[in-house]
């Protein structure tokens, strides 16, 4: 079961930092990151793909769920 991080309502770079800390704590676990900003989607996606993770993005009513897996 993935860890769920709720970064909705937070401005960049905070969602990226939250994601980075979660990856450092559990580098092989799956994450679900909830955000409400397309800039956060782009920044988190760029960060995790550089770290070798795969990202699947779901959008629902201007909120995004990033499913991140190693």
- Residues 25-45 have pLDDT tens digits of 999 899 999 999 999 999 999
Q: Residue 23: what pLDDT?
A: 95
Domains and CATH numbers, the chain: 3-69 (3.30.110.40)
Q: Residue 2: what pLDDT?
A: 76
Whole-angstrom distance, CA of residue 61 vs CA of residue 64: 8
Residue 6 burial (CB count, 10 A): 13
């Amino acid at each position: 079961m993935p860890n769920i991080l709720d970064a909705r309502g937070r401005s960049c770079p905070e969602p990226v930092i939250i994601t980075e800390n979660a990856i450092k704590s559990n580098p092989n676990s799956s994450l679900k990151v909830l955000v409400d900003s397309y800039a956060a989607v782009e920044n988190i996606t760029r960060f995790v793909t550089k770290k070798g993770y795969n990202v699947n993005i779901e959008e629902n009513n201007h909120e995004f769920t990033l499913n991140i897996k190693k």
